[in-house]
Amino acid sequence: MFYLFKIFLLGLLFFISCSSTIKKDYMGKKLTKLQHEVTQNCGTEPPFNNEYWDNKEEGLYVDITDGTPLFCSKHKYDSGTGWPSFYEVINNESFEMHKDNKLGYERNEIKSSKSKSHLGHVFNDGPKDKTGLRYCINSASLKFIPLSELEQEGYKKYLKLFK
């Protein structure tokens, strides 16, 4: 009987440790509740009340979970939506598109191809003189690396985007 109890406890501990694992960002810190909800459960943060919607500093926006470079500040614009919006990506291969009908109409969900983290949605109402696309992205899925820190953070090869 005691043997069965030990097996039960070990199984329970294994289940708890596996199910309560919080994904960490690429820097080894635990994701906040909001970052986890957005990136792992396809959540959405509030408009106009998020970290990067009005950030005008030059730099890179990378995946909060694995550090993959996603967007350059040169391609960011004010879409009036309250979320960071970009008309271009750094590398198309860094993204996956999925159909999303959760709101009763079809949208294109965008995920990071490496981490599979939810980033936001892509719409066809972006600047017509650029790509015509609007990548509407949750700040909670991003980490901003200022231009002045790109080299020390390991993103030296992306400095060319700012010339």
Query: Mapped to the 3 state alphabet, what secondary structure does 86-142 carry?
Result: ECCCCCHHHEEEEEECCCCCCEEEEEECCCCCEEEEEECCCCCCCCCCEEEECHHHE
What global pTM score does this model have? 0.82
Residue 72: active-site member: no
Catalytic residue among 18, 42, 72, 136: 136
d(CA 111, CA 113): 6
Q: What percentage of the chain has pLDDT greater than the value 70?
A: 82
Domains and CATH numbers, the chain: 3-162 (2.170.150.20)
CA separation, residue 118 to residues 55, 57, 160 (Å): 21, 24, 27
Question: 114 or 21: whose pLDDT is higher?
Answer: 114
pLDDT digits (tens, 9 = 90+) for 44-61: 999 999 999 999 999 999
d(CA 36, CA 13): 23
Residue 7 has pLDDT above 60, yes or no: no
Residue 16 has pLDDT above 90, yes or no: no
Residue 28 has pLDDT above 90, yes or no: no
